[in-house]
Structures are given as structure tokens and as C-alpha cells.
């Protein structure tokens, strides 16, 4: 079945439909990872996006029970050059097409994704729809549609829950929490208690935590900072705090650091950062649209990480402030294990 990707600038792309046969609208976004499409599709930080995969083919490994980053994907659609329609008949795997249909996510393949990537390089944000037609009425609809703000409210847990273990206790503020982050903490014997984005100081006090983690998520710093400010007022410098992705941006905004819009949104598993302490280059996973202007802080830092594409600050560690904040995803998923050391550095402060 032929389906259309239509953009708010009046252009359209035709391809073959797969997944859910529904109409969907979202923000068009590039995904540059060459592997890990299941983790990407289920990453809550991709909520509200129609993802354009730059890798030539996705779906060849199917969908398995282990690589979910959330149970229900919150992406609005998938655009690919090619999709593997037939995979092994092993019962432990599901085809990508069946998965998308089951989860209510539409997709189009046989699309010129290279042309889309070139377009997105000169357009920071574009609304897009997956539809059965590309007539003028469809374009009027997409232009009139307003995309939701603060998507963290859509993906954050509604109720607190525990991921028990035998070690130190952490309170985790869920702005769009990935399963892999809980997995990495569990491997380090962390007793995790997950709280919603709008958790209050009293909620954290009741847990008597040894540290706080502020997760990644799909929103902007200014949209979540009002919820986090009382917690940072109370605990910054008192308890060790780890901020990841959106958590990094929110902490940076709280510290009055200068957030800089990146020329292109960085979403993938191939973004190099360099540590100024060692120095060595880490290959990292990112899902972020802003970084921090260097030398713009009064915070005493012991280690800094710089994004090699932009020379902007992508993370820092301050032992005096008991603070670790990184723009990249230390859990990877998809990505390398280079960033796993961030969890170990943070837990040194906790212990």
C-alpha cells in the first residue's frame, strides 16, 4: 500500500506502508545510529517524533524481549530506506512490521532518506504527517496542527515504583527513563526508587536516599525546570546528583549556564566526546538539541567533557558540588559501553 510522508513546507515523499495503517503527525527527526533500532523506537526521549533512519536497512534482527527501553513506544512514525520483511521463524523474535502494527506506529519504507536528511540539515524543525494522500487539504491540516509541549508529562511514570537491590538507595526522577539505565544501576547493586517528573521534595525525603538521578527525556529544560527547581534548591551540594540528557540541560539551566542550540539535533550512537582529564575520546549515544557554552560557569569542576562536533560542553563532574551531569547517555542502548564509567564516577560520590 502506497503511503505519503508530507511536510509542513509543502513537500511530500511516497513509499510503501508498513505497521499501523493510521494517520500520524509529529516532529521529523534524523536517527543516525547504524544499529539498535528497537532501543531507538522504544526510547521515551523520542516521544512525538517521526524518525528518519539513515542506515540503509532496519528490521533484519526483528524485535526481541530484551532490548525494550520502554514497554510502549512513543514515537509517532518511522521512515526508512528499506525494511527487512522476512526474518527467522524463531518464536522468540517478532518482525518489525508486526511490532509496529501491534504498537500502533505507522511506517513508510522505500523512501529517499538521503533527501530527507539534506532537507533537515537546513531546517531545524519540521512537522510531518504519515497519510494516505498528499492533497492540499492534507497540507492545510498539518500546517494548522500544534504539536504538544512538555512531552515529559506523556512518558513519565504516573506512580512511584521501586527497582529493589541491596546497595545504596537512589531517588530517580523520571523525565523519560530508559530501562537500560535501571539495568546499569541494578548491575551496580543500587536500590532504585523511581518518581514521576513532578515529584516533591517531601517525596524524596521520605525515601532517605543516598543520591538523586535526573533522567533523560523528550522535553526542553525550561519545561521541566519548574518541577526540578525545588529539588535542586534543597539537595544540590547536599546529596550527590546525576543528570543525564534532559537532566543535564535542566541542571545547566538551573546553574545559569548558557545553553546553545546545536546546528542539527544529535540523535544516534556515534557522537564523540573528549574528556579533558585523561584525555581520551569516548564514543557516545546522544539524543539532544542543546549543549553548554564552555567557560561559562562559576561551578568548580574536576572533569569536563566536550562534544567534538561543536566544541561545546557536553558534561562535567564537580566533586565539591557532588554533581555529575552529562549530555550523552552513559547507558548507551544503542551505543558503546564507553559512557558506563559515568555511573561508576557518580557512585563514588554516593559511597
Give residue 30's pLDDT band: very low, low, confident or very high (50, 70, 90): very high
Residue 210 CA to residue 15 CA, distance in Å, equals: 52
Average pLDDT, the chain: 94
pLDDT of 91 reads 76
pLDDT tens for residues 135-175? Answer: 998 899 899 988 888 999 999 999 999 999 999 999 999 99
In which residue are the cell numbers 546553574 written? Answer: 255
Residue 124 has pLDDT above 70, yes or no: no
In which residue are the cell numbers 532517605 written? Answer: 208
Q: Using alpha carbons, select from 93, 71, 304, 185 the residue that is nearest to residue 193.
A: 185
pLDDT tens for residues 285-299? Answer: 999 999 999 976 778
pLDDT tens for residues 37-76? Answer: 999 999 999 999 999 999 999 999 899 999 999 999 999 9
Share above pLDDT 90 across residues of the chain, in percent, rounded to a whole number = 86
pLDDT of 85 reads 87
In which residue are the cell numbers 527501553 written? Answer: 69
Residue 62 CA to residue 241 CA, distance in Å, equals: 37
- Cβ(44)–Cβ(218) below 8 Å: yes
- Cβ(165)–Cβ(183) below 8 Å: no
Kind and range of the H or E element at 176?
none
pTM of the predicted protein model = 0.95
Q: Using alpha carbons, select from 309, 323, 329, 317 the residue that is nearest to residue 260.
A: 309
- Cβ(255)–Cβ(227) below 8 Å: no
- Residues forming beta bridges with residue 306, ordered by sequence position: 274, 313
pLDDT tens for residues 266-283? Answer: 999 989 999 988 888 999
Give residue 79's pLDDT band: very low, low, confident or very high (50, 70, 90): very high
Amino acid at each position: 500500500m502506497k503511503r505519503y510522508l508530507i511536510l509542513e513546507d509543502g513537500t511530500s515523499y511516497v513509499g510503501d506502508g508498513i505497521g499501523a495503517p493510521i494517520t500520524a503527525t509529529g516532529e521529523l527527526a534524523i536517527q543516525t545510529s547504524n544499529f539498535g533500532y528497537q532501543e531507538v523506537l522504544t526510547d521515551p526521549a523520542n516521544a512525538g517524533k517521526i524518525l528518519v533512519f539513515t542506515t540503509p536497512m532496519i528490521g533484519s534482527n526483528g524485535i526481541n524481549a530484551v532490548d525494550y527501553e520502554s514497554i510502549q513506544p512513543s514515537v509517532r512514525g518511522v521512515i526508512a530506506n528499506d525494511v527487512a520483511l522476512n526474518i527467522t521463524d524463531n518464536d522468540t523474535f517478532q518482525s518489525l512490521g508486526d511490532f509496529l502494527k501491534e504498537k500502533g506506529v505507522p511506517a513508510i519504507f522505500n523512501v529517499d532518506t538521503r533527501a530527507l536528511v539534506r532537507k533537515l540539515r537546513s531546517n531545524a524543525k519540521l512537522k510531518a504527517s504519515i497519510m494516505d494522500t498528499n492533497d492540499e487539504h492534507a497540507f492545510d491540516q498539518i500546517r494548522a496542527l500544534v504539536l504538544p509541549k512538555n512531552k515529559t508529562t506523556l512518558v513519565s511514570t504516573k506512580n512511584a515504583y521501586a527497582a529493589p537491590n541491596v546497595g545504596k538507595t537512589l531517588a530517580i526522577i523520571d523525565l523519560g527513563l530508559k530501562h537500560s539505565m535501571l539495568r546499569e544501576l541494578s548491575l551496580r547493586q543500587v536500590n532504585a526508587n523511581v518518581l514521576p517528573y513532578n515529584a516533591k521534595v517531601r517525596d524524596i525525603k521520605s525515601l532517605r536516599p543516598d543520591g538523586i538521578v535526573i533522567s533523560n527525556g523528550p522535553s526542553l529544560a525550561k519545561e521541566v525546570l519548574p518541577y526540578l527547581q525545588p529539588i535542586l534548591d534543597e539537595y544540590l551540594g547536599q546529596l550527590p546528583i546525576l543528570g543525564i540528557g534532559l537532566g543535564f540541560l535542566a541542571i545547566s539551566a538551573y546553574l545559569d549556564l548558557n545553553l546553545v542550540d546545536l546546528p542539527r539535533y544529535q540523535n544516534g550512537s556515534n557522537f564523540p566526546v573528549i574528556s579533558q582529564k585523561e584525555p581520551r575520546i569516548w564514543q557516545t549515544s546522544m539524543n539532544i538539541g542543546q549543549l553548554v557554552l564552555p567557560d561559562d560557569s562559576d561551578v568548580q569542576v574536576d572533569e569536563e567533557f566536550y562534544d567534538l562536533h561543536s566544541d561545546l560542553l557536553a558534561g562535567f563532574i564537580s566533586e565539591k558540588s557532588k554533581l555529575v551531569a552529562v549530555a550523552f547517555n552513559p547507558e548507551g542502548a544503542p551505543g558503546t559501553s564507553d559512557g558506563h564509567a559515568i555511573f561508576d564516577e557518580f557512585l563514588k560520590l554516593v559511597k
